[in-house]
Amino acid sequence: MFSGKPVKATFKCYLPPAQTDVKTSPIEPPIKLEPRFLPGEIIVNEANFVRKCISPDNGQDDLWGRLICTNFKVSFIPQEPPPKQKAQLSHLLLGQHDISLTCLEQVVTVNDTRGKRKVLGSNKKLKFNPAELILYCKDLRVIRFCFDEAGPESAKKVCLAIAHYSHPADLHLLFGFEYQGLRYHEYKANPVNGSDPKGGTQIPFFDRPSDWDREIKRTGASEWRVCSINEEYVISHSLPEYIVVPVSLTDQEVKQYSTSFSDGRVALWCWNHRNGSALVRMAGLKDPLAQKKPVEKILTAITKSHRQRQEVILSDLDKSLPNIQDIQSAFVKARQICTLDPFEESEERWLSAIENSRWLEYIRMFLKHSAEVVYNLEGRNVSVVLLEEEDRDLNCVVSSLVQLMLDPHYRSLNGFQSLVQKEWVMAGHRFLDRCNHLKKNDNKESPLFTLFLDCVWQMTNQYPAAFEFTEAYLTVLSDSMWIPLFSTFLFNSSKQCNDLLQEFAKNKAIPQDENHTVFFPPVWNWSQQFSSRDQTLFNNPMYVGKGAACVQNGEVKTFQRTKKAFSSTMRIPSTSHRNGVRAEEEHFHRRGSLVSELKADFSPVKDESPSERFFRDWFSRPADQQGLLIPLVLPSHVVLWKLFFLRWVPEACIPHGGPATVYHKVSQLVDEIETLQSKLRQYKGASPRGTPVPSSSGPPKDQTRMYFKATSPGDSPASPDILNSSFPFSPVGNLCRRSVQGTPISKFLNGAKTWLSTETLSNDTF
């Protein structure tokens, strides 16, 4: 479009590109794209005349450009800038064709002559000149570069550089340290231009007693207290410095008992139910054969902290849930199925392949187990101790899921972020090992956090009005794991974080601050990555939060699920109902029951357990979005998270469709409502005396809360062109093997081979 080439239809835009586009938009001179670098970023190696493969069959859509490897990313600079992508989430630190080195899962080169593949590691040799480079990314992108026109030596060098720099020998070598150090000094030198790294985030980090205190007060956990026995990490290297323990335990007792536990991880309080029951997580004993006394003491203390002195339930997650290797292998399989090339290959046995990966099965197991814990806390009013050998993996998933189900606070954006901070970052989830940032030990790699995000997505999918954030937010959060600039996902524990940062501060001449995160910010300050407009994509327009009170005088009062079922009762007009049936109903009466007798013989239904009854009762009532939420864990209701798994696959992208179309519509409506509300406030302000304005329910003052705005009279209705099932991401620029537009069906048409050739030809005629 910009280069004056004939306009050509692509699969993304089904119809030929509208010529009017060119006329209406001012013709911009072709911009020579220059690589953009962050402070401290340097080019390590590069190759020119590299081809990024997009359509392997004819190569027409392929991009030519420069492939650069820096100490932060792999960057591809196309010679001609592609047409601007409207409304695509744009990253402030990474361009459309960039991949951070941390995001590389596997670097594979392909030999020219025999098509031999070689996986490149750090300091590997390459005996042949690579014809192709395939980058498998942690965020499920698969990117191919061809070197047919590039100098063979430079191609080889850039491949080796990418392989080498994506395997840092030491955590210090991750680009984040370089970047944040420079950024700190830049900010200090010129505080006006630099944004405050911590600015805007009001997330409690749980690295100080006050954060825990607030949480104790918020949940009404009056029988629990903050204990500072782990200051300087004296009892445990992986627990936070401040932990919450039963009031009946003295600091000395905590210290004493902790020695029996793995890494000193004595019971760690997570959350309290208003009925008095508590959720606690705990590691296993160092020596399983040793005396159980410390455990008993702690359990007694937990019991004492329960208002009704209720017993404590131990929930051993190691026994009932898959281990981290199982989870890793399930994820690897699911990822393979979803990124398999060509697309049709996985189509035939798609369902059983997904099943065989076991990913969805594991999601269900975690949700189900968490729901059982919820039953104990809520239905039985007993405290639950989650038990895991190290208390740093499965416990993170289950404890945070339980809290999401029970406490609406965590379903708000800030609440959710504080939950991750509390149950993952401060609880010592080994992000460094599980993400395998250093690619040193594959055995320790496991996508626990991804699994958790998928579980959360399943809940948002079932209860779309209960969460303040969108699935785009969850996806972006998972992507942030692979950008090594945020302290959140880089370390195995808060101690490791502290130690490294102190060392780093010394090296970079950064004065010690009481708040170390100031110079190594967490991910939660989203303005590091996205513009404020793009951040509105995180806001769920359907959210029924505490602030989102409903119409006061209108019909709708609270948001409730109506029990309008497509039930066995056929709904015919009520008059006809009266005609026939109602009169006879009065005669119905019953005699002594035979049911109990019959049940033994006939009933295929086994007796209901108390927990089954609890769940059945709960599901039979309308759900309160601001109350307890229990996910359905039936296999038919736990489904593949398409945005996460399929967003980069062009063949799977529904043009003008997908959930984004609903998001678009509802956002506009909410924007309109907020505009009306602000207008009401204006009127209220303008007419101080006695106008009949009911007090507004406090909608946010920020008028740009919604990504899509209501259309004003002059505008044409918002075009849905930008919407597709990958929104706000775009699969454009990724390899696409679609033989028939929109339809990977050639596989199914073996009877019509002759047709395929002509179909392909006719597609090329316009």
Partner 1 sequence: TFKYIYYAHDITYFCPFTGALRGTVMVTNYRLFFKSMDRPAFMLDMPLGVVSRVEKIGNASTRGDVSYGVVCKDMRNLRFAHKQLEETIKKSIFEVLMKFAFPVSNGLQIFAFEYGQVFPENGWKVYDPIAEYKRQGIPNESWRITKVNDHFELCDTYPSTLVVPVNIPDEELKRVAAFRAKGRIPVLSWIHPESQATVTRCSQPMVGVNGKRSKEDEKYLQAIMDANAQSHKLFIFDARPSVNAAANKMKGGGYESEDAYQNAELVFLDIHNIHVMRESLRKLKDVVYPNIEDSHWLSNLESTHWLEHIKLILAGALRIADKVESGKTSVVVHCSDGWDRTAQLTSLSMLMLDGFYRTIRGFEVLLEKEWLSFGHRFQLRIGHGDKNHTDADRSPVFIQFIDCVWQLTRQFPAAFEFNEYFLVTILEHLYSCLFGTFLCNSEQQRLKERTVSLWSYINSQLEEFTNPMYVNYSNQVLFPVVSLRHLELWVGYYIRWNPRMKPQEPIHQRHKELLAKRAELQKRVDELQREVTNRSVSSSSERPSSPTRSITPVQTFV
Q: Which of residues 724-763 bind partner 1 (CB under 8 A)?
A: 725, 740-745, 748-749, 751-752, 755, 758, 762-763
- SS3 state of residue 383: strand
Q: Which of 84, 172, 286, 679 binds partner 1 (CB under 8 A)?
A: 679
Q: Which two tokens stand for residue 532?
A: 């404020």
Least spacing, CB of residue 628 vs partner 1, in Å = 15
Per CB under 8 A, contacts with partner 1 among 79-138 are none
Per DSSP, the three-state class of 438 is: coil
Burial 645-673 (b: 16+ CB within 10 A, else e): bbbbbbbbbbbeebbbbebbebbbebbee
- Given a contact cutoff of 8 angstroms between Cβ atoms, the answer to whether 265 and 282 are in contact is yes
Structure tokens, 681: 């406030």
Q: Does 703 interact with partner 1 (rule: CB under 8 A)?
A: no
The piece of 115-123, 325-333, 427-435, 460-468 that touches partner 1 (CB under 8 A) is 460-468
Q: Is residue 532 part of the contact set for partner 1 (CB under 8 A)?
A: no
Can you tell me the distance from the alpha carbon of 61 to that of 678, in angstroms, rounded to the nearest whole number? 47
Q: Reduced to 3 states, what is the DSSP secondary structure of residue 476?
A: helix
Enumerate residues 325-354 that contact partner 1 by CB under 8 A. Answer: 343, 347, 349-352, 354
d(CA 377, CA 384) in angstroms, rounded, equals: 7
Q: How far is the CB of 21 from partner 1 (least distance, A)?
A: 16
575 touches partner 1 by CB under 8 A: yes
Residue of 6, 26, 591, 688 that binds partner 1 (CB under 8 A): 591
Residue type, 588: F
CB of 739 to partner 1, least distance (A): 12
Q: Does 561 bind partner 1 (CB under 8 A)?
A: yes
Q: How far apart are CA 482 and CA 137, in angstroms?
A: 9
User: What is the closest distance, in whole angstroms, from the C-beta atom of residue 85 to partner 1 in the complex?
Assistant: 20
CB atoms within 10 A of CB 502: 13
- Residue 190 buriedness (CB in 10 A; 0-12 / 13-18 / 19+): exposed
Nearer to partner 1, 192 or 634 (CB): 634
Query: Closer to partner 1 at the Cβ: 202 or 576?
Result: 576
Touching partner 1, residues 32-71 (CB under 8 A) = none
Q: How far apart are CA 72 and CA 124, in angstroms?
A: 20
Place of tokens 């004993």: 285
Q: Distance between CA atoms of 159 and 473, rounded to whole angstroms? A: 33
Angstrom CA distances, 303 to 311, 398, 455, 585, stand at 6, 21, 30, 53
Q: Where are the alpha helices (DSSP H) in 630-728?
A: 642-646, 659-686
Smaller CB distance to partner 1: residue 115 or 554?
554
* Min dist. Cβ of residue 71 to partner 1 (A): 37
289 binds partner 1 (CB under 8 A): no
Task: Using CB under 8 A, pick the residue from 447, 464, 521, 545 that binds partner 1.
Answer: 464
514 binds partner 1 (CB under 8 A): no
* Nearer Cβ to partner 1 (26/566): 566
CB 541 within 8 A of CB 663: yes
Q: Among 86, 556, 688, 716, which residue interacts with partner 1 (rule: CB under 8 A)?
A: 556
Nearer to partner 1, 251 or 347 (CB): 347
- Judged by CB under 8 A, which of 462, 478, 480, 730 binds partner 1? 462
Residue 294 or 464: the one with the smaller Cβ distance to partner 1 is 464
What amino acid occupies position 596? S
Q: How far is the CB of 378 from partner 1 (least distance, A)?
A: 19
Q: Is 701 in the site for partner 1 (CB under 8 A)?
A: no
| 3-state secondary structure at position 240 | coil
Q: What track of x and - describes contact with partner 1 for positions 626 through 645 (by CB under 8 A)?
A: ------x-xxxx-xx-x---
Tell the smallest beta-carbon distance from residue 375 to partner 1 (Å).
Answer: 16
Residues 412, 339: contact at Cβ < 8 Å? no
Among 691, 700, 703, 764, the residue binding partner 1 under the rule CB under 8 A is: 691
Q: Does 463 bind partner 1 (CB under 8 A)?
A: yes
Q: Length of the chain, please?
A: 766
Name which of 439 and 709 has its Cβ closer to partner 1: 709
Name residues contacting partner 1, limited to 360-379 (CB under 8 A).
360-361
Binding status of residue 565 toward partner 1 by CB under 8 A: yes
Residue number with CB closer to partner 1 (30 or 627): 627
Euclidean distance between CA atoms 728 and 742, whole angstroms: 20
- Residue closer to partner 1, measured from CB, 32 or 753: 753
Task: In angstroms, give the least distance from the CB of 690 to partner 1.
Answer: 10
Of 48-56, 121-129, 281-289, 574-582, which part binds partner 1 (CB under 8 A)? 574-582
Report how far residue 616's alpha carbon sits from residue 225's, in angstroms, rounded to the nearest whole number: 36
- How many residues interact with partner 1 (rule CB under 8 A)? 125
Per CB under 8 A, which of residues 218..257 are in contact with partner 1?
none
State the CB neighbour count (10 A cutoff) for residue 639: 14
Rounded distance, CA 74 to CA 81, Å? 18
At residue 371, φ and ψ (nearest 5 deg) are: -65, -35
Residues 595-624 binding partner 1 (CB under 8 A) are 595, 598-599, 601-605, 619-620
Shortest Cβ 81–partner 1 spacing (Å):
28
The answer to the question of residue 573 lying near partner 1 (CB under 8 A) is yes
Rounded to a whole number of angstroms, the minimum distance from the CB of residue 591 to partner 1 is 7
Query: How far apart (Å, rounded) are the C-alpha atoms in residues 711 and 707?
Result: 12
Diameter of the chain by CA atoms?
94
**Quick one: which of 503, 507, 676, 703 contacts partner 1 (CB under 8 A)?**
676
Q: How far is the CB of 656 from partner 1 (least distance, A)?
A: 6
Residue with Cβ nearer partner 1 (7 or 710): 710
Contacts of 622-627 with C-beta under 8 Å, sequence gap 24+, read: 622/560, 622/561, 622/562, 622/563, 623/463, 623/466, 623/560, 623/561, 624/558, 624/560, 625/408, 625/463, 625/465, 625/466, 625/544, 625/559, 626/408, 626/466, 626/544, 626/545, 626/546, 627/408
Q: Residues 655 to 674: which contact partner 1 by CB under 8 A?
A: 655-659, 661-662, 664-666, 668-670, 672-673
Minimum separation from the CB atom of position 555 to partner 1 (A): 6
Query: In this complex, which beta carbon is closest to partner 1, that of residue 509 or of residue 761?
Result: 761
CB closer to partner 1, 189 vs 583? 583
How many whole angstroms separate alpha carbon 40 and alpha carbon 194?
15
Contact 202, 169 (CB under 8 A): no
Quickly list DSSP for 385-429: EEEESSSSSHHHHHHHHHHHHH-GGGGSHHHHHHHHIIIIITTT-
Q: How far is the CB of 329 from partner 1 (least distance, A)?
A: 18
User: If binding is defined by CB under 8 A, does position 9 make contact with partner 1?
Assistant: yes
Q: Give the pair of three-digit tokens for residue 466.
A: 């209960």
18 forms part of the interface with partner 1 (CB under 8 A): no
Interface pick for partner 1 out of 581, 685, 688, 695 (rule CB under 8 A) = 581
Residue list 191-210, contact with partner 1 (CB under 8 A): none
Please state, in angstroms and rounded to a whole number, the distance separating the CA atoms of residues 268 and 392. 11
Quick one: which segment of 111-119, 176-184, 483-491, 677-685 binds partner 1 (CB under 8 A)? Answer: 677-685
Give the E-state strand segments of 185-337 in sequence order.
Answer: 224-227, 243-246, 268-272, 278-283, 312-316
The CB-of-674 to partner 1 minimum distance in angstroms stands at 9
Is residue 29 close enough to count as binding partner 1 by CB under 8 A?
no
Question: Using the rule CB under 8 A, which residue among 318, 680, 705, 737 binds partner 1?
Answer: 680
Which residue's CB is nearer to partner 1, number 34 or number 602? 602
Q: Strand 383-388 vs strand 278-283: parallel, antiparallel, or unpaired?
A: parallel
